[in-house]
Amino acid sequence: MNTPSLDRYADDFERLRALPPAERETALAALPLDDEARATLRRLLDADTDADDPLARALGAGAARLAQPRGDRLGPYRLIRELGAGGMGTVFLAERVDGGFAQRVAIKLLRGFPTADGLRRLRQERQILAGLDHPHIARLLDGGETADGQPWLALEYVDGVDLLAYAAQHAPRLRERLALFDAMLDAVGHAHQRLVVHRDLKPANVLVNAAGEIKLLDFGIARLVDLDAGAARETSTRVFSAGYASPEQREGRTVTTASDLYSLGVLLGELVGGRADRERAPAPLPLDAELAGILAKATDEDPARRYASAGEFRDDLDRYRDGRPVRAAPMTGAYRLRKFVGRHRVGVAASLLAALALGLFVWRLDRERDRALAAEAVAQQARDASQRDAASARAALAFLTDAFKAAAPENALSRQVSVRDLLDAARRALDAEQADAQVKQTMQRLLARLYGGLGEKTIAVELMRAGLAGAQAQERGEALRLAADYDLLGNELTSADDGADALAAANTADALRKRYAPDDVIERMRSLLSLALARNRSGEATQAIDLLRQAIALSEQQAPPLDLEVELTGSLAGLLATNSDCDEAARIAERGLRRVAAVRPADAPERRELLRAQAFAMKTCGRWAEAEAPIREAIALQEKVIGSGGSDMASLITTLADVLTQLGRNREAAELLQRWEVAIGGAKLGDVEMASLLAYRADLLDAAGDYPAALDFDRQSAAALDRANVGADHQLRRQLRRNQARTLALSGDYARARSEFEDLLERAKRIDGENSIEYASVLWQLASAERLARRAEAGTAVLDEAMRRWTALAPPDHPIFAYARRSRAVFAMLRDDYATADREFAEALRVLEAIQIPPGDLATVRSERAELWRRQGRTAEARALLAQALPPLREAFLPNQVGRAGAERTAAQLGMK
């Protein structure tokens, strides 16, 4: 036997070698090997104690070749030292050496070299695992492959000791140990809800840091290691730890969440009962019949007889600690009486002392009996809820399995099957399925969430409405799930005629949380977010901002999950930007991006909404050039995570087109829209979303100078708002009318434009007040319309009032003040006050040239000054300035665009081409 031929035994040898000698034979017997290979491994293990054994030296060399990466770098990480090795690979301590911040991580170099297909599936699974965000789960931060194709993972580095060692030193009492285990159950339950199974729970994968905080390591990584097996079903025949693996794992049968519950049961047994063959094991504690019953149920040989979920396991332990009947014990009358006495020792003692007062004794006994029966009813209700959840989950899993089989490549006659294909297949199957009503509604709500994630809001709303019809909560867990579903329904109700329904959905979610989780800070934050979004849809932006500020203030009491924190931050930044508080919006979005960067990789999907909010803030501040980079990054993330379709992508693309237009890159904007037209057009949009999209198109055409086409899109946008029953006072309706009135003025219909602006001004005064940004904005646009109409006196009066308002609302360096000087220059020129006009033009251009406004806008102001110089007889200067202005005007605008048309008239009068 030559040395290279032993490489194939290296992984199994290293894993078996790390086990206690008493466990090796069991683990070896469970490996899928032939007799010869098993005998070879046994000889290698027997010889391992002999340092001079040639087989051991050969195997060690093979293992070293597999474990050691080339050089001391993996991606952006520098390896510091090896932390350990085991069945799944070698672990190194490493630090990040790029990105401008220090971060220590644990790098796990996975054993084996998967096939190309295995690597592809590994990357997919890695994305799922990266989505686990729980305070007691070590996060998966990054991943990749070495130059040789060996996969590696970057995990949160946890400096701590394993569970049993910590319990031995710091948790002498049962309550303390059960508190540690409670945190484990919470983490495992979080992962199971996301269909992630650990598969290798053991003391070494549960660390406790100096602060006493639990961290579960290697969540789902055993699954990643198994990906190169090419198995078509979820079995585990390769990676598990003897003594902790469930019977189905050891026998190579299907692995489910029940497998993790078995391992947890073993861990709990060692945590409370001790382990004789382990150094520094926690001292064994007395194990009463109830706790023994809980352990027996968790570690039952039959997965169907174990706890249905981590939540049910946790609930039984809560009942045990509270002295209530546990599900794992037989519910006999004697057992209930014993539990009753145990819970009410003082009451029973008092009753015995009052035995001579027979009437009082009977009364007390009767009352306590009622309490016992009430407690039993609560227990039965919880048991029934758990059984309903388990039955619903099994039915839902069976339904999804059948639906996804129908969409598999071999059945769909296609090599490529997208997430959307799978969802559509499930939706069709659900429509045709004669399923139990509760299961069907559960699936409808699940599919609604998935469609919503793809940006298919209309389908999501339809499914969620059906899934919530008549749904009732009977206990806390059900109530919080329903509240989350009502949140989603409210978020997806983007049609303004659904504004009341959106608010009703948010109020329903809030009521459920107040009833079933009144003291839960995180749930209160979720309700405030949902209510804020609903208020904003109803045009109550100020109230929405106040609600979001309340939610963020609560985060000082308890840190929210990252996804909730991102949504709160992004929503507040977006609303502040919409209401022209762009500087604070930009600061909030940037703070959120720094927070995400500290804990997630650079391409984390959580960045998307914050980037969108950041770009919108930059737009509102007039910092168009700075807005381009974040909106492009948001588009790239959207395409990577979701795909090129959906209403969210439509919104991002039109935002980028708007930015490009403002930068004078109109042709690039038009090409962008044309390239994405299929994706945008294929989005199933609500009427309000469609109205916004059409209004974007109108704005782009308006900016380019195609006023008839812009007005046509404005009319289509207004019709979409009509279909949605958007009222005349709604903020979105008023914004559309302002843009349409501007286009009317640009097209020469000054009377209609003036009438629209005057009506909007009255509404702004009534709804927002004379000191509002809305009122000041309408005044500004009315002044611009009077400038286009060449009405100097009327325009000057309106402009003066507008700037009095803006002085109180905007900082002195805001671009609007430079544009106001430009308007004053035009009004002065119309009055033949050329000296004043030239001073105003000079000051306006000084500021506008310094702040990098769109080239077309800057060229327009220069061409207007050139016209002034022509009138003053400064022909040579006028020609020179106009020669500078004409190329960008002709590049950015159509011939009929107002600024370009005026410049062309001046050029003709100066004899220029």
* pLDDT tens per residue, range 356-413: 333 333 334 344 444 444 444 444 444 444 444 444 444 454 445 444 444 333 333 3
Straight-line distance from the first to the last Cα atom of the chain, in angstroms, rounded to the nearest whole number: 89
The reply to whether 294 falls in a domain is no
The residue type at 815 = P
The reply to whether 621 falls in a domain is no
Q: What is the largest CA-CA distance in the chain?
A: 122
| Alpha-carbon Rg for the chain in angstroms | 35
Q: Long-range CB contacts (< 8 A, 24+ apart) of 34-40?
A: 37/9, 40/9
Decide: helix, strand or coil at residue 66. Answer: helix
CA distance 199 to 250: 11
Percent of the chain with pLDDT over 90: 23
The reply to whether 910 falls in a domain is yes
Strand partners, 156: 105
**Residue 220 region by backbone torsions, left for phi larger than 0, else alpha for psi between -120 and 50, else beta:** left
Highest mean pLDDT among 67-81, 357-371, 729-743: 729-743
More confident residue, 531 or 10: 531
Contact 461, 445 (CB under 8 A): no
Domain boundary among 103, 122, 156: 156
What tokens does 77 get? 């990480």
Residue 867's pLDDT is 97
Q: Alpha helix (H) ranges present in 234-344?
A: 247-250, 257-273, 289-298, 310-322, 333-343
Query: Using H for helix, E for strand and C for coil, what is the string for 755-811?
Result: HHHHHHHHHHHHHCCCCCHHHHHHHHHHHHHHHHCCCHHHHHHHHHHHHHHHHHHCC
200 is catalytic: yes
Residue 117's pLDDT is 57
Q: CB-based contacts of 224: which residues, under 8 Å, 6+ apart?
A: 110, 122, 125, 126, 129, 151, 153
Domain boundary among 369, 395, 421: 395
Contact 393, 477 (CB under 8 A): no
More confident residue, 151 or 528: 528
pLDDT at 9 over 70: no
What tokens does 778 get? 């309408």
pLDDT at 227 over 70: no
Residue 39's pLDDT is 81
Q: CB-based contacts of 851: which residues, under 8 Å, 6+ apart?
A: 622, 815, 818
Residue 415's pLDDT is 36
Contact 680, 716 (CB under 8 A): no
Burial letters 107-145, b for 16+ CB under 10 A, else e: bbbbbbebeeebbebbeebbeebbbbbbebbbbbbbbeb
CA distance 860 to 399: 63
The reply to whether 228 falls in a domain is no
Decide: helix, strand or coil at residue 267. Answer: helix
CA distance 410 to 132: 32
Q: Which of the residue ranges 192-206, 358-372, 449-463 would you say has the lowest mean pLDDT?
A: 358-372
Report the candidate in 623, 619, 656 with the shortest Cα–Cα distance to residue 639: 656
List, for residues 39-59, the tens digit of each pLDDT value: 877 877 776 544 444 434 443
The reply to whether 99 falls in a domain is yes
Residue 606's pLDDT is 77
CA distance 81 to 211: 25
Highest mean pLDDT among 57-61, 347-351, 562-566, 827-831: 827-831
Decide: helix, strand or coil at residue 49. Answer: coil
Residue 350 confidence class, pLDDT cut points 50, 70, 90: very low
CA distance 242 to 26: 7
Residue 105, H or E segment: strand 104-110
Q: Which of the residue ranges 43-57, 365-379, 473-487, 548-562 would you say has the lowest mean pLDDT?
A: 365-379
Mean pLDDT of 673-687: 62
pLDDT at 822 over 90: yes
Report the candidate in 170, 169, 166, 149 with the shortest Cα–Cα distance to residue 158: 166
CA distance 40 to 33: 10
What tokens does 358 get? 């027979």
Contact 483, 523 (CB under 8 A): yes
Highest mean pLDDT among 100-114, 140-154, 335-349: 140-154
User: Is beta strand 77-86 parallel, antiparallel or unpaired with respect to 73-74?
Assistant: antiparallel
Find how far residue 520's CA is from the centre of its chain. 21
Residue 879 confidence class, pLDDT cut points 50, 70, 90: very high
Q: CB-based contacts of 520: which residues, under 8 Å, 6+ apart?
A: 513
Domain count, the chain: 3
* Percent helix / strand / coil, the chain, rounded to 5: 70, 5, 25
Domain boundary among 156, 186, 216: 156
Mean pLDDT of 338-351: 44
Q: Which of the residue ranges 118-122, 476-480, 559-563, 806-810 would you say has the lowest mean pLDDT?
A: 118-122
List, for residues 846-866, the tens digit of each pLDDT value: 999 988 777 888 999 999 999
pLDDT at 106 over 80: yes
Contact 134, 212 (CB under 8 A): no
Q: Which of 11, 142, 200, 658 is catalytic?
A: 200
CA distance 141 to 120: 18
Strand partners, 110: 89
List, for residues 757-781, the tens digit of each pLDDT value: 999 999 999 988 898 888 999 999 9
Residue 74, H or E segment: strand 73-74
CATH number of the structural domain spanning residue 879: 1.25.40.10
The reply to whether 130 falls in a domain is no
Percent of the chain with pLDDT over 70: 73
Residue 503's pLDDT is 86
More confident residue, 499 or 870: 870
Residue 724's pLDDT is 79
CA distance 48 to 478: 55
Report the candidate in 858, 817, 620, 652 with the shortest Cα–Cα distance to residue 735: 620
Residue 48's pLDDT is 56
Residue 519 confidence class, pLDDT cut points 50, 70, 90: confident
Q: CB-based contacts of 733: which residues, under 8 Å, 6+ apart?
A: 721, 726, 727
pLDDT at 730 over 60: yes
Residue 844 confidence class, pLDDT cut points 50, 70, 90: very high
What dihedral do alpha carbons 353, 359, 363, 366 form, nearest 10°? 90
Report the candidate in 202, 198, 238, 236 with the shortest Cα–Cα distance to residue 218: 198
What tokens does 734 get? 């008023």
Contact 759, 741 (CB under 8 A): no
Domain that holds residue 365: 338-395
CATH number of the structural domain spanning residue 78: 3.30.200.20
pLDDT at 542 over 80: yes
Report the candidate in 110, 111, 105 with the shortest Cα–Cα distance to residue 154: 105
More confident residue, 677 or 64: 677
The reply to whether 250 falls in a domain is no
pLDDT at 103 over 50: yes
Residue 338 confidence class, pLDDT cut points 50, 70, 90: very low
Strand partners, 209: 160
Residue 434's pLDDT is 58
Residue 416's pLDDT is 39
The reply to whether 68 falls in a domain is yes
Residue 50's pLDDT is 44
Residue 868's pLDDT is 97
Q: Which of the residue ranges 332-341, 385-394, 424-433, 630-639 would you say has the lowest mean pLDDT?
A: 332-341
Residue 452's pLDDT is 72
CA distance readout (Å), 437 to 195, 480, 483, 486: 23, 20, 20, 19
Highest mean pLDDT among 135-149, 334-348, 484-498, 748-762: 748-762
List, for residues 108-147, the tens digit of each pLDDT value: 887 654 556 566 656 656 666 677 788 899 888 888 888 7
Decide: helix, strand or coil at residue 9. Answer: helix
